[in-house]
Structure 1
Amino acid sequence: FSAQSLDPVTYSVLVEAKGFKKALVDHVKVDTAATATANVTLETGSVTEQVVVTAEAPLLNTETGTTTHTITTRQLQDVPLNNRSVLDLALTAPNVTGDAGSEDPGVSSDQPVPGFNLNLNGGRAGSTSILADGVNNTGVGIARAVVSFTPETVQEFTVQTSAYSAEFGNTAGGVINATTKSGTNDFSGVALWYHRNPKFNATPFSIGTAPRPHNNLRYNQVSVTVGGPIYLPKPGEGGKAYYNGKNKSFFFFAYEPRRRKDFLTSTALVPEATQLAGNFNNLVRTAAGIVPATVATQFGLTSVGSANIYQQFVLFQGKLVPIALATGNQYCQFNDPRRILVNQVYQGVTLQTPQCNSTINATPNPALNIIPPEFIDPIGVKILQFMHPAGGYFLDSGNIRNYFQQRSVVQNETRYTLRLDHNFTDRAKANFRYTVTPAVGIRSAGNDINGNAGVYSNARQFLLAFNNIITPTLVNDLRLNYTRGNFSEDYSPEFSIKTGRSFAGEIGLPHLTTGGIPLFLIARDNNYVTT
């Protein structure tokens, strides 16, 4: 005998036959997306007698070859989870590796992709099929969980890593199937506050000598859930004045706001105002960085190499033309009076290029390390206007720095889950679930050049399911769902990619989008770090 479309709870199986004792198999646990087997042996005797078999140990699945691991309600309640995502528990299953991810954007570049980087049975990242209450919950553009759940809203979930049914043939990795909680005949609920604060953290060993805070992760999550039978007013005369949903109609509701703030700190060596204008004279290359000679003296640092700037281009019709060095020659410092003018043909025009030899460069002049204004890109000048000014010089783990940088992220998220269940008869039932997970994260790059960016995640899922046992051998299980997730990374509304200002266009750079801010990466020279 086979019973289909059962809820993932614990059952008792009672078998009766004429001329045999009743047989009762107790504690038969049916897991999500799994087959449970209860073997019964009937003994001859009176039907009024009963044989009770208690199935305490997990039943061995002999019906299919599917490798299934079930995360139970007890595990969901007892195992501590860093970000309150049930997908973290998938890593407790055999043959599951990787990173479960979360809805949290990182301070630098981590994207909110829950479930995407899980590897099931050796499958690649993004090859896992993620289901919720038996319907697809996997993103199309990126195979993440569209809506994610906390332990307070999930009854259990299973991880299938191999030999799963053909109904899951659209995945090359494995299957994760979560079953959400529903109401029962008794009112019950949960109220909790999960809090993290830097006051509770010790200073990490990795912190250097710079005066920076050791940690600033602030995390607040509240979960309030309630479930039970549905009671509704019942208008009309006679009988009860309200509808009593016990044994028939149930509800479950969860309200889960979450607020998170975090930042990372670092230090840098940025140019002074004179250097931004092209004046690099009197700099000294030290083991702690390239700094002005006065700063090197202040910290007792000695020179370990050249800090001179050499001219590698000449100007022709507003364009930079690379200098072709004659045999044995070298580049010169800008405007070195000892330079040798060498003819060079470029596009049919003879140019005079300044070149030096090893004898001239053996005695460089630090006062000549000044780049003429005509060699400085005008767009670069506009960009550098937004760079933070240099501050006072200090030592950070042996390196000279003059800028303290902070990268931060702020996230606001509020989840709602509503589930309604109704039993029409013993053979027909229906349920409805609505889950929404709107989240907005603001990531600060820590400098005015690259500005701030927003990480937006707005996902929702509607589920309507009908289950009807038509005959003992015919079952109809119909599930309709609408799942939509909008995931994007954008700037503030002023510089929105679709409708905002284009900073690239305003400073003269080509651009593909209507608005937005391009990402600027400034070259670095060993320990000389910009930002």
Structure 2
Amino acid sequence: MICPSHRNLVCLFVLLLLSGQLLRAEVTAGVLGTVVDPSGAAVPNATVVLKNPDTGLERRAKTNGSGDYEFLAVPVGEKYSVQAEAKGFEKSVQNGIKLLLNQKYRADFKLVVGAVTETVEVTGATAQVDTSSTQLGDVIEDKKMTTLPLNGRSYIDLLGLQAGVVPIASDAAVNDRAVSGNGNSGQVSVNGQRESANSFLVNGGDVEESVDNGASIVPTLDSIQEFRLLTNSFNAEYGRFSGAIVNVLTKSGTNEIHGSAYEFLRNEKLDARNYFDLERGAFKRNQFGGTIGAPVVKNKLFFFGDYQGTREVRGVSSGLINVPSVLERGGDFSDLATTGFATFTDSDGNPTVVRGDASPTNFAATLSQRLGYAVTPGESYWFQGCTANTQCVFPGVNGPFIPPFVWSPVAEKTLKFIPTPTGDSGGTPNFSTTAEKLNLRDEKFGMKLDLNTAHLGNWSGYYHFDDANFLNPLPEVFASKVPGFSAVTLSRAQQFQVSNTAILNPNTVNEVRLNYTRFAFLKNKPVGGLGKIED
């Protein structure tokens, strides 16, 4: 496409619109069907009306020569009704229709000859088989999400309900970008694909973080209307991913004021003690929040908001950590045969010796100064039977003894970070504790505005904010689960989206969506450790 220089901006705008269409993810539904007479012949030019009393939506369409009609880009929701009427026939109405995300609902009519003033009303949903799409997947609705017991109240934990989804990640998967502090970001394998091959969308906008390809935005469970998980044979609107497409649709306000409030508490009262721990760790988790939806202008402007706070304090089990024995902490290594730690021998079984020459800065001179007797280069530190300092550096009947007064100041200061034994396993001293506690604080909220206009289409704006602070006392990054080396992970996720859906004619829909997602993440910032270097 070649554009004159004075039309560059116009051409750029057109190209953005055309390229944006490739990234469009549908967040609406559709209604289609056929109108026939009692003999099964098509009824052309029949009037079909689609209504929703919750939002005041009303659309009209005419059947074509084959009796077919279709409503495109219909907002997801309940309580829809479809009415068909034609001259010489009774009106026919289907009520109680529920439209799901990406669904093509079929409402066929067989009109009865009679007066137009008479109405045939049908109430009750019929089983729907989607014959207009080849993609495979399922829709998880809000009632199922809020009634199933979920540890952490995240829709991500429901991905495993769909066939072909392995709800756990393999050891080879990279999964170090937790969402909402310590939540699951959706690293699951779908149909044997990699855990990083999935796409995550919220209201049709891309919310995937760019490192592990997990979800960076997870709306509160009570704010989700439904989500659709596509596992195979995606429509042309999707691309770039070989795993699954997860499209989340959040709730909107209606003509009725509705809302909810909740608090979920979990604690350790019914938990068992870990077999290797001396006592049961503390556990306190509170998840609280609510939702509110209301009309701002009836049938025109609607608002929906949600909030959830999470507070968690949990004692973390360190597991069994091998540590020096009480004797060894005092420099007495006579119990090496019992503890099973490495003896003072090299790989060939020979006694280890003092390395270096006799220069003042090498080991021999330093040890001579600290011990008060001569130590020579090449001398053994200890061997079986060495009981005098004229035979080895650290004499001892059953093992070497290193007097604490010869330890370096750094070693003495470091020893305080190595815990004392709380037990042993086969003679090897070890340590375990649940006293160290992780701490999670997470705040998230969302707001959504929907505006219905007669000439400018339907407008929607959505904003989500999630700020989390997660303190891990045993991160295993700086030390192997040794207390005193805690780290904090800070994260903040935001999504801002504006969209417009305009019905140009019964067969043409124009949809524009602008989406901005930001995920700031600082992992394992040390807040403990050895202290200041001068100490």
Out of 15, 18, 23, the residue aligned to residue 87 of structure 2 is: 18
Written as runs of structure 1 = structure 2, the 5 A alignment for 1:125-524 is 125-199=195-269, 201-204=270-273, 206-208=274-276, 211-213=278-280, 215-230=281-296, 245-265=297-317, 266-271=319-324, 275=328, 279-283=331-335, 285-286=337-338, 289-290=339-340, 309=345, 311-312=351-352, 314-316=354-356, 334-336=381-383, 366-370=397-401, 381=411, 384-390=414-420, 394=423, 400-401=429-430, 404=433, 406-425=435-454, 428-445=457-474, 451-492=485-526, 506=533
1:370 Cα deviation from its structure 2 partner: 4.4
Q: Distance in 2 between matches of 1:336 and 1:493?
A: 43
Q: Distance in 2 between matches of 1:222 and 1:197?
A: 15
Amino acid at match of 1:334: Y
Question: Bigger shift: 261-270 or 165-174?
Answer: 261-270
Q: Distance in 2 between matches of 1:39 and 1:398?
A: 79
Structure 2: gaps of 5 or more residues = 1-68, 364-377, 476-480
1:442 Cα deviation from its structure 2 partner: 0.6
Aligned to 1:498: none
Q: Distance in 2 between matches of 1:448 and 1:394?
A: 16
Q: Distance in 2 between matches of 1:398 and 1:15?
A: 84
1:183 Cα deviation from its structure 2 partner: 1.2
1:86 Cα deviation from its structure 2 partner: 1.4
CA offset digits 1:155-195 (Å, max 9, x no partner) = 11111111111211111111111111111111111111100
Q: Distance in 1 between matches of 2:128 and 2:110?
A: 16
Amino acid at match of 2:400: N
1:33 Cα deviation from its structure 2 partner: 2.4
* Conserved? CA contact 2:266–2:285, under 8 Å: yes
CA offset digits 1:269-304 (Å, max 9, x no partner) = 522576357x34321534xx459xxxxxxxxxxxxx
1:20–1:402 distance in 2 versus 1, CA, 3 Å: closer
Q: Distance in 1 between matches of 2:84 and 2:336?
A: 91
TM-score, with length taken from structure 2? 0.69
Amino acid at match of 2:291: T
1:98 Cα deviation from its structure 2 partner: 1.9
**2:101 pairs with 1:72:** no
1:192–1:179 distance in 2 versus 1, CA, 3 Å: same
Aligned to 1:236: none
TM-score, with length taken from structure 1? 0.70
1:71–1:100 distance in 2 versus 1, CA, 3 Å: farther
1:332–1:91 distance in 2 versus 1, CA, 3 Å: farther
Amino acid at match of 2:524: D
Identity of aligned residues (%): 24
1:95–1:389 distance in 2 versus 1, CA, 3 Å: closer
Q: Distance in 2 between matches of 1:64 and 1:388?
A: 62
Q: Distance in 2 between matches of 1:120 and 1:455?
A: 29
Amino acid at match of 2:266: R
**2:121 pairs with 1:87:** no
Question: Bigger shift: 452-461 or 141-150?
Answer: 141-150
* Conserved? CA contact 2:181–2:468, under 8 Å: no
**2:117 pairs with 1:60:** no
Amino acid at match of 1:460: Q
CA root-mean-square deviation: 4.0
1:502 Cα deviation from its structure 2 partner: 9.9
**2:101 pairs with 1:32:** yes
CA offset digits 1:89-130 (Å, max 9, x no partner) = 2221222222399xxx99x9x984633322223321021111
SS at match of 1:87: helix
